[in-house]
C-alpha cells in the first residue's frame, strides 16, 4: 500500500483500505471530539519498529538480495512438485523477515514467470493460493512477520518466549498443512518442467557486499529495537540516516500507506474504547470467546484493524494474538495481503498473452480454490487451538 497514485480515482482504487481507515477515524471523532487524550492513542514503538522493518526490507529488495535468494532456491528444482514447494516455502521464509505483504509482492511475479516459463500454467492458481496462506500463516511465528504481531508484541510488552509458546501450535499446524496441500495439489502434473524454465529468467545483478553488510547491520539493529534492547527512536534515526545516505529509493519505497493506516486505526480504536456502550458489549465477548471473536472480526475488517481494536477491550493477549493470526485465513479481507494475491493473479493474463484462453487461469477457479483452502485452514486451526487451550 504505497502512496503513489496520481489521480483521485487511482488513489481510491489503490488505497481503499487507507481511505476506509481514515473515514472510520473521522466518524469516530464525531462521537469523541479531539482532545489531548488523542496523543495517547498512538503506539509510537509499533510505528517506529514497523518503519524500520519496512525500510530495511525495501532496501534489501531494491538491491536484489531477496530476488537473488529466491532464484537460488528455485533454480535447484526442475520437476513440478519440488518447484511448487520451493516457491511456497520461500514465500513462507520471506514472510518471516520481510512481512507478509512484501513477501507476496516479491514472490508472486517470480512464481508466475517461473511456472509459465516452465509450461506449468495449471499450477499458477494453487501455488498462488498456497503462497498467500504461507505468507499469512507462516509469518505468525515471529513478532515482525505480520503487522498485527508487531503491534500486539509492543502493546502488551510480550516476552519472546511467551510469544513463541503461544504461536507454536498454529504455526506448526499451518506449516504442515501448507506442505501437505502443496505436495497433493501440485503433484498431479506428470513429467518435468519445459525447456523454458527458471533458467530463462534474467540473471540478477551482482550484490554489493558493502551495502549488504550495512543492511545486515540495520536488520540486527531493527531486531534489537523490536525486542526492546535498544531504544526504538535510536533505531529509527540510524535506519533513516543510513538509507538516506545509501539509497533514498528505499525510503521512498516504504509502505507509508500502511503506516498511515495504522495511525487511523489507532484513532478509531482509541475513540471506540472511550464509548461506554462499545466497551460494555465487547469486553464480555472477549473475556468469554476471545479466540472466536478475534478470528471472526478479522473476516470482516481484516486482522490488523481487528488486533488494534480488540486490544483495547481485553488483557488476555493469547487468544487475541492467536485469533487475529488464524483470522488471516478465510475471506479475502481476512488479511489484506490476500488482496495482493488476487491482484497479481488477475494480471497474469495481461502479462502472458498466451494465458488468455487457458481455463486453469480463470478468476472463478482461483476464487473457488482460495475459498476452499482458506476456510478449511481457518476451521481446522480454530478447532485445534480452541481444543488445546482455554481460549
Q: What is the pLDDT of residues 111-129, one digit of tens each?
A: 988 888 788 899 999 999 9
Under a CB-based contact definition with an 8 Å cutoff, are residues 137 and 385 in contact?
Answer: no
What average pLDDT score do residues 91-97 get? 91
Question: Residue 199: its pLDDT value, please?
Answer: 45
CA–CA gap between residue 335 and residue 326 (Å, rounded): 10
pLDDT for the residue numbered 7: 67
Q: What sections of the chain are H helices per DSSP?
A: 8-14, 16-31, 44-62, 65-74, 80-98, 100-117, 124-137, 147-155, 160-185, 209-226, 232-246, 248-252, 256-273, 276-301, 303-310, 317-326, 336-351, 363-388
- Secondary structure letter of residue 205 according to DSSP: P
Burial of residue 322, with CB atoms counted within 10 A of its CB: 0-12 exposed, 13-18 middle, 19 or more buried: buried
Q: Which of 72-81, 234-243, 357-366 has the highest mean pLDDT?
A: 234-243
- Cα–Cα distance between 315 and 318 in angstroms, integer? 9
Q: What is the mean pLDDT of the chain?
A: 87
Task: Tell me what percent of the residues of the chain surpass a pLDDT of 70.
Answer: 90
Residue 243 pLDDT: 95
Q: How confident is the model at residue 205 (pLDDT cuts 50, 70, 90)?
A: low
State pLDDT tens for residues 6-63: 567 666 666 777 888 899 999 999 999 999 999 888 889 989 998 998 899 889 888 8
pLDDT 10s digits, 324-364: 999 999 999 899 889 889 888 988 877 776 666 678 888 89
| Site of grid cell 506449516 | 175
pLDDT tens-digit map of 280-304: 899 999 999 999 999 999 999 889 9
Whole-angstrom Cα distance, residue 132 to residue 135? 5
For the entire predicted model, the pTM comes to: 0.83
Instruction: Evaluate whether 49 touches 222 at the Cβ level (below 8 Å).
Output: yes
Distance CA 179, CA 182 (A): 5
Which grid cell is 145? Answer: 512477520
Position 144 pLDDT exceeds 60: yes
Of residues 153 and 106, more confidence is placed in 153
Q: Between helices 256-273 and 303-310, what is the axis angle to 10°?
A: 40
Q: What pLDDT, on the 0 to 100 scale, is given for residue 76?
A: 79
* Biggest CA pair distance of the chain: 66
| pLDDT tens column, 160-196 | 999 999 999 999 999 999 999 999 998 755 444 554 4
Q: For residue 119, what pLDDT is reported?
A: 85
Q: Which three cell numbers stand for residue 301?
A: 475488517
Residue 200 has pLDDT above 60, yes or no: no
Amino acid at each position: 500500500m504505497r502512496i503513489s497514485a496520481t489521480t483521485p480515482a487511482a488513489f481510491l482504487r489503490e488505497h481503499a483500505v487507507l481511505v476506509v481507515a481514515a473515514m472510520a477515524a473521522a466518524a469516530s471523532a464525531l462521537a469523541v471530539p479531539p482532545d489531548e487524550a488523542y496523543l495517547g492513542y498512538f503506539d509510537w514503538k509499533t510505528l517506529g519498529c514497523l518503519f524500520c522493518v519496512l525500510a530495511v526490507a525495501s532496501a534489501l529488495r531494491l538491491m536484489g538480495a531477496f530476488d537473488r535468494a529466491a532464484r537460488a532456491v528455485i533454480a535447484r528444482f526442475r520437476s513440478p512438485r519440488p518447484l511448487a514447494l520451493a516457491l511456497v516455502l520461500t514465500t513462507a521464509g520471506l514472510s518471516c523477515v520481510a512481512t507478509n505483504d512484501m513477501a507476496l509482492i516479491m514472490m508472486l511475479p517470480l512464481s508466475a514467470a517461473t511456472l509459465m516459463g516452465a509450461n506449468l500454467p495449471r499450477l499458477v492458481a494453487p501455488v498462488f493460493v498456497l503462497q498467500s496462506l504461507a505468507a499469512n500463516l507462516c509469518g505468525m511465528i515471529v513478532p515482525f512477520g505480520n503487522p498485527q504481531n508487531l503491534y500486539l508484541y509492543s502493546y502488551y510488552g510480550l516476552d519472546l518466549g511467551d510469544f513463541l509458546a503461544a504461536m507454536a501450535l498454529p504455526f506448526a499446524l499451518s506449516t504442515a498443512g501448507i506442505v501437505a496441500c502443496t505436495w497433493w495439489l501440485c503433484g498431479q502434473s506428470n513429467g518435468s518442467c519445459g525447456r523454458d524454465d527458471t533458467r530463462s529468467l534474467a540473471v540478477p545483478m551482482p550484490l554489493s557486499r558493502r551495502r549488504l553488510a550495512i543492511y545486515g547491520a540495520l536488520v540486527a539493529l531493527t531486531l534489537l529495537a523490536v525486542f526492546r534492547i535498544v531504544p526504538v527512536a535510536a533505531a529509527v534515526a540510524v535506519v533513516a540516516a543510513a538509507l538516506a545516505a545509501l539509497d533514498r529509493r528505499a525510503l521512498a519505497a516504504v509502505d507509508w500507506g500502511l503506516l498511515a493506516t495504522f495511525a487511523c486505526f489507532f484513532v478509531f480504536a482509541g475513540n471506540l474504547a472511550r464509548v461506554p456502550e462499545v466497551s460494555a458489549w465487547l469486553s464480555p465477548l472477549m473475556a468469554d470467546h476471545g479466540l472466536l471473536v478475534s478470528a471472526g472480526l478479522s473476516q470482516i475488517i481484516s486482522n490488523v484493524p481487528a488486533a488494534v481494536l480488540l486490544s483495547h477491550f481485553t488483557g488476555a493477549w493469547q487468544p487475541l494474538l492467536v485469533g487475529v493470526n488464524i483470522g488471516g485465513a478465510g475471506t479475502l479481507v481476512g488479511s489484506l495481503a490476500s488482496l495482493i494475491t488476487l491482484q497479481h493473479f488477475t494480471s497474469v493474463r495481461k502479462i502472458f498473452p498466451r494465458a488468455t484462453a487457458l481455463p486453469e487461469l480463470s478468476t472463478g477457479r482461483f476464487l473457488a480454490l482460495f475459498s476452499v483452502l482458506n476456510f478449511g485452514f481457518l476451521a481446522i486451526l480454530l478447532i485445534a487451538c480452541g481444543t488445546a487451550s482455554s481460549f
